[in-house]
Amino acid sequence: MFCQVTELDKYNIELQLDNANKDAILKTLSKPFFAIIFAAYFEKNHYIKSELELMSNFIEKSINPYKDKYPNLPDTLARLAILSLERDLGYIHKSEIDPMIDCEQLLRSGYFFKDECNNYAFSLPIFIQWFGADAIRKKYIDIDEILASKEKVLKWRYSLSILFSQITYDESSEYFSKILFKMPGIASIIIRDGIFLEYSISLPSADICGKRIYECMSIWLKAFKGIDFGLQEDHIHTNTLAYGQEGGFIIYSWADKYIGQDVIEFSKKDFRSRICERVVPAQATWPWIVTFEELAHRLAYNVRNKKWLLNDSILQQENLWQNKKTKITPYITSDQKNTSKWMIGSYSKEQLLKRVQDTYFKALCTYKTFVETFLNPLKSQLSTYLVLPCELVGNLQYICDENKKLLSHPGFSWYMKPLPISEQNQISICCKDEDEIWNNSNNIYDDLIMAQKTLRKDDNIFITNNIHSGHINLSETPVTNIIYEWLEDDLKEIGWL
């Protein structure tokens, strides 16, 4: 496609790519729209930085021919983007378009098409989102209006991400701070979507950069109050930041407590806490990115090391059992002599089924309380949390020979189907000779989608339909393992891991 547009017989695009971003850019260029943009405005010795850079280039060059005749065209497109976004990317009637704009010229610009009833629509969703960002920045729509509901925020999600990549640091203090305090769970998505791949080669002074990182971290911690990131030892001040700059790199570390100053000069000789050294994205909002990634690192550490223990729960019982502080077994034990090469062979078919049913029921009943205790500010985005209460449907494949000896390690397939909010969690796990769930997966997915649209209408956007398949793992902490697996999957979906 690139060669056809540029009429170049031979050209190695990969040689023009920054090695650090090569995989991401090649993924971008695998999308026909971005490949065409790159080819149309191709310049030798100019490597690609991001989808956002390609879009910015495209918008600028495509609007330039109309600037003299229609100097207000960008403003018009921004206002039309508001109408389209509010209608779920829907049509705009000709009567709603500024009469000073020649609609035929609008069509020739390539941004719009129309139907036989004079209804106009943007030709690609990315145009709507791009000009939507422009509308926010020009205050044609108030950020508070967008943040009025989760449904509305999600309509404007990509516009907010584009805006995040374009605004100044002072503007971000207004816009992004409001997003954090009103919709904290949305913040990670906006950041992940709106990061440039190019790195900065110049920064403000160390004093300014250190102050901005400290300010951003303090706002994050206020917005996510209730999650223990280990950065407010006295529960009042954010821990002291040690900060410095060397040759385009920033070097920083957070103290274990607040030592009377917000920011101190960094010295490798004097500072022994975790040290971070990195370049930063070439955008004014980079202090938000740096602080978010620090929080994500700390959250990942807690999740992958299972640091949170829910008191007076099955998790605490399993912890005591694992550490040999109790003789009370927290799970259903085996009931027969092992005649196979697998430890699971010490369970009869009936006893293993009971253990699996018991384990997953306890996990369902515990997960909601676990999330509300340790990650409450993020609960409105966590897929497994939002699907509860649910019916967990599973097939346990326990394949034996005529002597009831295991022929293979038992397999387990399962999925979660939402129930009305007023109901209790249910378990529907049974033994099968074949995997009926995977064999009927298309119908199951259709059923799940319908159930979510009906029973979780407001949360449907964050619920991921999955059919899980694997093997039963007999550990000393089965419920703990399942809960942390669910949590890790949920956090990955929203960009925290």
Q: What is the 3-state secondary structure (H, E, C) of the chain?
A: CHHHHHCCCCCCHHHHCCHHHHHHHHHHHCCHHHHHHHHHCCCCCCCCCCHHHHHHHHHHHHHHHHCCCCCCHHHHHHHHHHHHHHCCCCCEEHHHCCCCCCHHHHHHCCCEEECCCCEEEECCHHHHHHHHHHHHHCCCCCHHHHCCCHHHHHHCHHHHHHHHHHCCHHHHHHHHHHHHHHCHHHHHHHHHHCCCCCECCCCCCHHHHHHHHHHHHHHHHHHCCCCCCCCCCCCCCCCCEEEEEECCEEEEEECCCCCCCCEEECCCCCCCCCCEEECCECCCCHHHHHHHHHHHHHHHHHHHCCCCCCCCCHHHHHHHHHCCCCCCCCCCCCCCCCCCCCHHHHCCHHHHHHHHHHHHHHHHHHHHHHHHHHCHHHHHHCHHHHHCCEEEEEEEECCECCCCCECCCCEEEEEEEECCCCCCCEEEEEECCCCHHHHCHHHHHHHHHHHHHHHCCCCHHHCCCCCEEEECCCCCCHHHHHHHHHHHHHHHHCCCC
- N- to C-terminal Cα distance for the chain? 35
Distance between CA atoms of residues 351 and 368, nearest Å:
27
Q: What pLDDT sits at residue 483?
A: 97
Query: Residue 222 in contact with residue 296, Cβ under 8 Å?
Result: no
Phi and psi at residue 433, in whole multiples of 5°? Answer: -80, -20
User: Phi and psi dihedrals of 281, rounded to 5?
Assistant: -60, 150
* Confidence at residue 21, expressed as pLDDT on a 0 to 100 scale: 63
Strand partners, 412: 396, 470
**Residues contacting residue 52 through CB under 8 Å, at least 6 positions apart:** 162, 165, 194, 196
Nearest to 101, CA basis, from 128, 65, 66, 149: 66
Per the listing, tokens 């990509």 go with: 158
Q: Give Cα separations from 349 to 14, 90, 139, 292, 345 (angstroms).
A: 56, 55, 65, 48, 9
Q: What whole-number distance in Å separates Cα of residue 481 and Cα of residue 486?
A: 9
Of 111, 102, 105, nearest to 134 (Cα)?
111
The pLDDT value recorded for residue 373 is 97
Q: Looking at residue 268, what is its pLDDT?
A: 63
- pLDDT confidence of residue 187: 86
Phi, psi dihedral angles at 363 (to 5 degrees): -65, -45
Pick left, alpha or beta for residue 114 (phi over 0 → left; psi -120 to 50 → alpha; otherwise beta). Answer: beta
Q: 268, 275 in Cβ contact below 8 A?
A: yes
The whole-number pLDDT of residue 451 equals: 94
Q: What is the pLDDT of residue 270?
A: 58
Q: What is the pLDDT along the chain (497 residues), one digit of tens a residue?
A: 666 655 566 666 666 665 656 676 777 777 777 777 777 666 655 556 667 777 777 787 777 777 777 777 788 889 999 999 999 888 898 888 878 777 777 777 777 888 889 888 988 888 899 999 999 999 999 999 999 888 888 889 889 989 998 899 999 998 999 999 988 878 888 888 777 666 766 899 999 999 999 999 999 999 999 999 999 988 899 999 999 998 889 999 999 999 999 999 987 665 666 889 998 988 899 999 999 999 999 999 999 999 999 999 999 999 999 999 999 999 999 988 887 777 788 888 889 999 999 999 999 999 999 999 999 999 998 999 999 999 999 999 877 767 666 667 788 999 999 999 999 999 999 998 788 898 899 999 999 999 999 999 888 888 998 999 988 878 999 999 999 999 999 999 988 98
The one-letter code for the residue type at 400 is C
Q: Which residues contact 240 (CB under 8 A, 6 or more apart)?
A: 254, 255, 257, 258, 259, 260, 261, 262, 263, 264
The model carries a pTM of 0.85
Identify the pLDDT of residue 15.
Answer: 61
In this prediction, residue 290 carries a pLDDT of 95
Instruction: Confirm if 292 and 495 have CB atoms less than 8 A apart.
Output: no
Please report the pLDDT score of residue 201 as a whole number: 66
